[in-house]
Amino acid sequence: MSAWTYSASNEANLMKIKYGRLIEKQFNQQNPLFARIKKKENFVGSQIEEPIVQSIGGGVSAGSLPTANENKIAKATITSKKLYAKTSIDRESMKASRSDEGAFVRFTKFPVQIATKSFNRNVERMFTRGDASGSGALITGDAANSNVSGNGAAGTPYVVSFDKASTYFPAEFECIEEGDILNAGTESTELEVVAVSVTEANGYATGTISLVGSSALLAADTGAAPFAESLYMQKSKDNETLGLQGVLSATSSTLYGVSVGRRWQATQKDASSAALSTDLMNEVIMNMKRKCGECPNMILTSYHQYTKLLNLLEDHKRYPLPAKGALKGVISFQTIVYASPDGDIPVVMSRFMDSDKIYFLNEKHISLHLRPGGFEWFDEDGTVFLRESGDSYEARYGGYGQFYINPHFQGYLYNLAV
């Protein structure tokens, strides 16, 4: 009879072999957008510089020799961001399951799953909703009507009310989970999310976020001035990656150090509160084709606009005829594809998308540049679980990188009716 004894080498092997595959499955199934984009483990040195050809004009003529002129070439600069997740396991619980490998795996499986799942959720949230500066703002109060009650104690947490029923879409609440640790404004004090409550009506939402912890900003606004600050994931203010929302909506300033302009800007269409239509989608796609010579190869929508697209394409459902001759009715679509001059484009839903927006993405011009090793469990000390100051062990997961999104090959449809 063989006995399994807890040791750093045994634990590290379990983590790398058994959990590595499990993490990959979560990565693919739970975060389809994050899973689809290219990952390049080529980020060495202080930064990556990408040449951007913005013009091929000059140096041509007829009848006599032309005047030579240099093409306009810019340089996009990519700098890495530090992205982390951490889990902690009580030592006594580890000891209690030391003689049964199955019990040990079952015990550690849950915190490992949660850590990686939360990490992937957070990175996909950055990728989908991040702005053009990496500020990391999750949700921002309105100076007119975002109020605070409570005092931050466990029994009477701060309750921040976000009442934006005329302008607000519920995706921002999807970025925040119970158990997340947040910071308010410029503060570094930890605020634990103990409850998120959302009321939706016709695509709009009002809601509250309940927080336990110490915050001078929230205390100052309790029952007095409205809360006009932003909430951030812990320690993430101004430390996050760039994201699609910021890159695709940019009309000025710079992206990756390159001035936003004719050859460095997404194809943008303001729907002016019109309902989603094939005309609007065709206009964005054909303008992208005209400007850059390529159509998108993925369309990203909110669940709200995905439903509208299902209804819009109702007459395109197919009724396959099996060999026996019985007509088989298909009640709904298994998936949606949108026909373009370059072929069918799959439509993907995201809970992080605002209800009034659709992104038209060309994945060939989107990538995640990572330091060698990519996202992984940290084991440079010879073990994955490291001893903490108390009677517990911690494991760290993450990596270093940045999303690179060439805006010229992307499309952005916004202000759709909800």
Residue bearing the bigger pLDDT, 200 or 292: 292
Instruction: Please report whether residue 215 resides in a domain.
Output: yes
What are the CA-CA distances from residue 321 to residues 182, 327, 329, 331, 333 (Å)?
55, 5, 9, 14, 16
> 264 and 180 share a domain?
no
User: In DSSP terms, which residues pair with 366 in a beta bridge?
Assistant: 405
Instruction: Please report whether residue 246 resides in a domain.
Output: no
Domain boundary among the residues 185, 200, 233 is at: 233
> By the 8 A CB rule, do 393 and 412 touch?
no
How confident is the model over 133-183, as pLDDT tens digits?
A: 999 999 988 877 788 999 999 999 999 988 766 556 678 888 999 999 999
The pLDDT assigned to 62 comes to: 84
The pLDDT assigned to 3 comes to: 43
The pLDDT assigned to 30 comes to: 55
Among 194-208, 305-319, 404-418, the least confident range: 305-319
Please list the alpha-helical segments (H only) found in 65-159.
Answer: 91-96, 101-129
Tokens (6 digits) for 220: 């100052």
Domain count, the chain: 3
Instruction: Please report whether residue 240 resides in a domain.
Output: no
CATH of the domain at 108: 3.30.2400
Q: Going by C-beta distance under 8 Å and a sequence separation of 6 or more, which residues neighbour residue 20?
A: none
> 14 and 77 share a domain?
yes
How confident is the model over 106-133, as pLDDT tens digits?
A: 556 667 777 888 898 999 999 999 999 9
User: In DSSP terms, which residues pair with 74 in a beta bridge?
Assistant: 52
Distance CA 418, CA 306 (A): 11
> 273 and 318 share a domain?
yes
* Structural domain boundaries enclosing 352: 258-366+407-414
Read off the pLDDT band of 269 (50, 70, 90). Answer: very high
> 288 and 270 share a domain?
yes
Distance CA 193, CA 118 (A): 14
> By the 8 A CB rule, do 61 and 55 touch?
no
In the predicted model, is pLDDT for residue 54 greater than 70? Answer: no
Find the helix or strand (DSSP H, E) in which 184 lies.
strand 181-184
In the predicted model, is pLDDT for residue 27 greater than 80? Answer: no
Instruction: Please report whether residue 3 resides in a domain.
Output: no
How confident is the model over 365-382, as pLDDT tens digits?
A: 999 999 998 888 888 777
Instruction: Please report whether residue 23 resides in a domain.
Output: yes
How confident is the model over 313-359, as pLDDT tens digits?
A: 766 655 455 555 444 444 455 568 888 888 889 998 898 998 899 99
> 305 and 202 share a domain?
no
Distance CA 127, CA 122 (A): 9
In the predicted model, is pLDDT for residue 20 greater than 60? Answer: no
Read off the pLDDT band of 69 (50, 70, 90). Answer: low
Looking up tokens 């909703």 gives 129
Average pLDDT of the segment spanning 35-53: 83
The pLDDT assigned to 24 comes to: 41
Distance CA 400, CA 41 (A): 10
How confident is the model over 71-104, as pLDDT tens digits?
A: 677 788 889 999 999 888 777 766 665 554 545 5
> 37 and 142 share a domain?
no
> By the 8 A CB rule, do 67 and 59 touch?
yes
Distance spanning both ends of the chain, measured CA to CA = 65
> 142 and 224 share a domain?
yes
The pLDDT assigned to 25 comes to: 37
Q: What percent of the chain has pLDDT over 90?
A: 43
Instruction: Please report whether residue 249 resides in a domain.
Output: no
Name residue 89's amino acid: I
Q: What is the mean pLDDT of the chain?
A: 81
Tokens (6 digits) for 103: 């019990």
Distance CA 209, CA 203 (A): 19
Instruction: Please report whether residue 114 resides in a domain.
Output: yes
Burial of 37: CB neighbours in 10 Å, binned 0-12, 13-18, 19+:
middle
> 205 and 298 share a domain?
no
Instruction: Please report whether residue 65 resides in a domain.
Output: no
> 316 and 386 share a domain?
no
